[in-house]
């Protein structure tokens, strides 16, 4: 039996000798790489912190002490050491462990997290709370009290919230440890002045000198002496090697490092001393993202969070499972063309045709497809690092000077910049354009990454144009609409999914503000010659790719019912004329969206019906329920939410059973209903 299999809790880990820990680290890396190859997941971030995580659990007792992760996508080793090895086979599914810290799984996970910058602030809060509860560590009065440790890395230290957390941490008058996991990366290459500062620090001559000197100091220390003693006993020359003090000490944080994050004796010695330090401390740890797996080390961006992959080797090569050797290649499993790829190419086309278009992303050039624009138009493309608020404000400033900014961002991260959407963009009437990747359900990343509230938060902004893409031609048409929409903020959302080919052979009409597109021509009430024979039994107004699922539901219904399907296109303004034409004929409407039913597209349809004095009771909403949906495949999540084709078909039958069928109007008597609002932008 290997070492990993013998560990059911950190207490078992602490029974091992330090000399055994490298073998344990190798076993953990193999287990993680084998599983991610099968299911996909965060590979490189987890490989980089194996030794650091083992050392932390070796020194601290996090059944009592506090461990807070920033971002959280580096938690796999932590989970394997805290009793969850049996859940690894179900990684990122409902039957296994989440890819992020999850308190539902274990008391060792204190917060469910997946967004950058939060770890230091929540750790400060727990440290303050423990002190108020008389449970906090104090070397003199409470040596058995709770310690607090926050791990921050992957360049999230540059996030504004992390700065606020450091500002708060510096006011603490107790033990508080921030571990800066510095791997020289975020998801891709980090950006900005702070990133350049750490680059300089890593290559400075003081780095090597301090490592050697620090080891000599530690050799001479009795085990009970604290880092505070060591810090004050260091010579002035030694302290000068701690170049980062000039930065972190402005926050009131004593700083040590950088140290080698893959060297167990150094890690354990430093953490043992830090465990008893009586004031806030930053331990700067240098790690290698993707450590131990050659292809992940070589291309940490691609293998940050890859899909399932295969390692193709020479049959005569001796290769450990999950490891690359000479003559090997890694093949990522792809099953179609993604919306992200489609957007990246469409953006480049837009920038080629219009020299005033600029774009930005917040540390996600590959994840959003902006990497293609960065390569071709580096002077008009920007990666701000993990700084969504800054990116939005920067683009608002560019809009003010006459440029046409497009912000590519995951829908789940947009809410981090909502205040900027409101004040710097919308309130100023500036046409900032939001391209929201990973909108709706996201599959294995689970609740922390679902894009479930972007419609709700943007719909309150006056003159906002809120759209969703049905497929690739629809995405391109929406971007073209946004390029020339100057009345205010605009957005288009699209999922973490592949583009559908269902309507590939049909011409995609341009987007017209507040107008839907009929996907079932027989029931197009605006079509010439439709004299009422095309009045459906039920109409589906689907927002975005839900239109594809609605068409699949219509296929399941067949001739059983007359089903009209509309690509709604706009959640603001909704197509009031279409809503009126349907409801005045008694045609029930089913809205479908990959967004919360609370304040989403369906709510906008009901509000519009009510404002026009129509029967809003004929509107049935399908969308994400008012509860959390956890990690699993996107297909299973949609079934759980009731937005897949089978659920839509079931709803069609249920709605039709409750409503008297709409009568066919005599030929020549079809009258198009015109409805105007005193404030058309309200819906």
Query: Could you tell me the CA-to-CA distances from 135 to 131, 174, 255, 286, 372 in Å, in that order?
Result: 6, 12, 25, 32, 52
Q: Say which of 66, 84, 275, 289 is annotated catalytic.
A: 289
What is the per-residue pLDDT for 250?
A: 81
Residue 198 has pLDDT above 70, yes or no: no
Q: Is 388 a catalytic residue?
A: yes
Closest C-alpha to 360, from 424, 415, 404, 412: 404
Digit-coded pLDDT (tens) for 459-477:
999 999 999 999 999 999 9
CATH number for region 517-682 = 3.40.50.920
Mean pLDDT score across all residues of the chain: 87
- Is 395:360 a contact under the CB 8 Å cutoff? yes
Digit-coded pLDDT (tens) for 562-602:
999 999 999 999 999 999 999 999 999 999 999 999 999 99
Residue 672 has pLDDT above 70, yes or no: no
CATH number for region 4-286 = 3.40.50.970
pLDDT classification of 143: cutoffs 50, 70, 90: very high
Same fold, 4-286 and 517-682: yes
Domain made up of 339-493: CATH architecture: 3-Layer(aba) Sandwich (3.40)
Query: Could you tell me the CA-to-CA distances from 564 to 315, 530, 548 in Å, in that order?
Result: 56, 14, 13
Digit-coded pLDDT (tens) for 380-409:
999 999 999 999 999 999 999 999 999 999
Average pLDDT over residues 312-333: 53
Q: Count CB-CB contacts under 10 A for residue 681.
A: 16
Residue 190 has pLDDT above 50, yes or no: yes
Determine what percent of the chain is predicted with pLDDT higher than 70. 84
What is the C-alpha separation between 356 and 50, in angstroms, rounded? 46
What is the per-residue pLDDT for 246?
A: 55
Query: Could you tell me the CA-to-CA distances from 631 to 104, 447, 640 in Å, in that order?
Result: 12, 7, 12
Lowest mean pLDDT among 248-252, 376-380, 413-417, 483-487: 248-252
280-286/176-182 β-pairing: parallel
**DSSP class of residue 26?**
H
Q: Is 289 a catalytic residue?
A: yes
Digit-coded pLDDT (tens) for 69-101:
999 999 999 999 999 999 999 999 999 999 999
Digit-coded pLDDT (tens) for 596-628:
999 999 999 999 999 999 999 999 999 999 999
- Tell me whether residue 568 is exposed, middle or buried, using C-beta atoms within 10 angstroms of its C-beta: 0 to 12, 13 to 18, 19 or more: buried
Q: Say which of 30, 102, 388, 593 is annotated catalytic.
A: 388
Q: Domain map of the chain by residue range?
A: 4-286, 339-493, 517-682
Q: Say which of 146, 404, 416, 517 is annotated catalytic.
A: 416
């Amino acid at each position: 039996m290997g070492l990993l299999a013998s560990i059911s809790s950190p207490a078992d880990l602490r029974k091992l000798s330090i000399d055994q820990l490298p073998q344990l680290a190798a076993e953990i890396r193999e287990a993680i790489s084998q599983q991610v190859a099968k299911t996909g997941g965060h590979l490189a971030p987890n490989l980089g912190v194996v030794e650091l995580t083992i050392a932390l659990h070796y020194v601290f007792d996090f059944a009592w002490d506090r461990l807070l992760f920033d971002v959280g996508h580096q938690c796999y080793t932590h989970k394997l050491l805290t009793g969850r090895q049996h859940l690894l086979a179900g990684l990122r599914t409902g039957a296994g462990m989440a890819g992020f810290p999850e308190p539902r799984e274990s008391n060792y996970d204190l917060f469910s997290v997946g967004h950058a910058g939060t770890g230091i602030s929540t750790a400060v809060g727990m440290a303050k709370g423990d002190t108020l509860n008389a449970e906090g560590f104090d070397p003199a009065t409470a040596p058995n009290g709770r310690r607090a440790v926050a791990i921050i890395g992957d360049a999230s230290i540059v996030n504004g919230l992390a700065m606020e957390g450091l500002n708060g941490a510096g006011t603490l008058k107790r033990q508080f440890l921030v571990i800066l996991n510095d791997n020289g990366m975020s998801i891709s290459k980090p950006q900005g002045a702070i990133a350049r500062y750490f680059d300089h620090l890593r290559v400075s001559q003081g780095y090597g000198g301090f490592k050697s000197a620090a080891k000599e100091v530690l050799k001479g220390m009795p085990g009970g002496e604290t880092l505070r003693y060591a810090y004050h006993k260091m010579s002035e020359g030694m302290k000068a090697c701690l170049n980062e003090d000039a930065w972190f000490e402005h926050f009131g944080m004593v700083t040590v490092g950088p140290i080698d994050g893959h060297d167990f004796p150094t890690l354990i010695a430093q953490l043992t001393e830090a465990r008893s330090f009586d004031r806030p401390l930053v331990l700067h740890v240098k790690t290698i993202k993707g450590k131990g797996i050659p292809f992940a080390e070589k291309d940490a961006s691609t293998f940050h969070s890859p899909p399932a992959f295969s390692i193709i080797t020479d049959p005569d090569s001796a290769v450990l499972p999950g490891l690359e050797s000479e003559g090997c290649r890694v093949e990522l499993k792809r099953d179609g063309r993604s919306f992200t790829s489609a957007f990246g190419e469409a953006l480049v086309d837009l920038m080629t045709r219009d020299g005033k278009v600029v774009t930005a992303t917040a540390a996600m050039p590959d994840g959003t497809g902006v990497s293609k624009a960065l390569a071709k138009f580096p002077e008009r493309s920007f990666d701000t690092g993990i700084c969504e608020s800054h990116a939005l404000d920067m683009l608002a400033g560019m809009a003010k000077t006459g440029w046409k900014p497009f912000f590519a961002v995951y829908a789940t991260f947009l809410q981090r910049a909502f205040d900027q959407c409101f004040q710097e963009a919308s309130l100023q009437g500036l046409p900032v354009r939001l391209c929201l990747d990973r909108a709706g359900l996201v599959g294995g990343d689970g609740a922390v990454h679902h894009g479930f509230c972007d419609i709700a938060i943007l719909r309150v902004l006056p003159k906002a144009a809120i759209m969703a893409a049905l497929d690739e031609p629809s995405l391109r048409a929406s971007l073209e609409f946004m390029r020339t929409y100057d009345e205010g903020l605009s957005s288009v959302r699209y999922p973490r999914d592949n583009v559908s080919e269902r309507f590939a052979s049909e011409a995609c009409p341009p987007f017209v503000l507040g107008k839907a597109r009929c996907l079932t021509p027989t029931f197009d009430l605006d079509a010439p010659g439709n004299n009422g024979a095309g009045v459906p039994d039920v109409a589906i107004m689907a927002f975005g790719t839900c239109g594809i699922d609605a068409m699949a539901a219509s296929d399941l219904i067949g001739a059983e019912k007359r089903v009209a399907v509309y690509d709604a296109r706009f959640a603001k303004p909704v197509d009031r004329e279409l809503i009126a034409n349907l409801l005045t004929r008694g045609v029930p409407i089913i809205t479908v969206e990959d967004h919360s039913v609370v304040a989403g597209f369906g709510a906008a349809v009901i509000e519009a019906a009510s404002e026009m004095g129509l029967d809003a009771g004929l509107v049935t909403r399908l969308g994400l329920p008012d509860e959390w949906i956890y990690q699993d495949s996107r297909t299973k999540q949609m079934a759980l939410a009731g937005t897949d084709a089978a659920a839509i078909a079931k709803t069609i039958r249920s709605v039709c059973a409750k409503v008297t069928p709409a009568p066919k109007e005599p030929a020549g008597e079809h009258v198009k209903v015109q409805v105007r609002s005193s404030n058309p932008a309200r819906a």
